[in-house]
Amino acid sequence: MHSGDDVAQRSDEELMQGYIYGDVAAFEELFERYEGRIYGFFLCRTGSRERAEDLYQDLFLRIHRARASYDPERRFSPWLFQIARRLLIDDVRRSAARPEIRVADEGRRAVEPSLEPEQVASTREQLGGIFAQLSDLERRILVGSKLEGREYAELAGELGKSVAAIRKVASRAMQRLRLAELDTALSGGSI
């Protein structure tokens, strides 16, 4: 393992190679180094802060999954942006293919009329179980940022943490939710 100062001095390529071999600090350093550029890339193309944040978090989940395919002889940045472009294309295709669920005035999600009541109840129950796996801090941050639309800076002040810490907790919580959702879907759930 490397010390924090040592990690900050390493090139992107060295950090990615370190992460491939299990150096989590290297991955966190890459995450922080590219936060502004990648977030800006997504924000510029989506026009939505929420979508840009979600895509940014999804990108690093994809990098985690694709880490074995990284060639350390090539530069990290083009590889990263190639994955980001693919993710953006996939997101646009998914958005066009699925009808958007609108948020009702009372703050509850309006359910598509084509769903049976049993399906709605089952999906809510499964999502509740997945959400229950998160810590209290993770739930507070996700509810505040994703459902209530509050800014990370506001949540950071309220919770006595830095914006970077709030962003990391949100990112990790979203990754855990996505993995739990995938596990549920693969094990026969309907999510």
Average pLDDT over residues 43-62: 87
Average pLDDT over residues 148-161: 84
Selected residue with higher pLDDT from 175 and 123: 175
80 in the same domain as 11: yes
The answer to whether position 106 is within a domain reads: no
Q: Collect all residues with Cβ–Cβ distance below 8 Å to 50 and sequence separation of at least 6.
A: 146, 149
22 in the same domain as 87: yes
Domain boundaries, position 35:
4-97
pLDDT band for position 79 (cuts 50, 70, 90) = very high
pLDDT band for position 119 (cuts 50, 70, 90) = low
The number of domains in the chain is 2
The answer to whether position 111 is within a domain reads: no
Domain end marker among 62, 97, 132: 97
Domain of 129: which CATH number? 1.10.10.10
121 in the same domain as 91: no
Answer yes or no: is pLDDT of 116 > 70: no
CA 31 to CA 146: how far, in whole Å? 20
For tokens 């309006």, what's the residue?
A: 110
CA dist list (Å): 96 to 36, 84, 93, 109, 191? 27, 18, 5, 20, 19
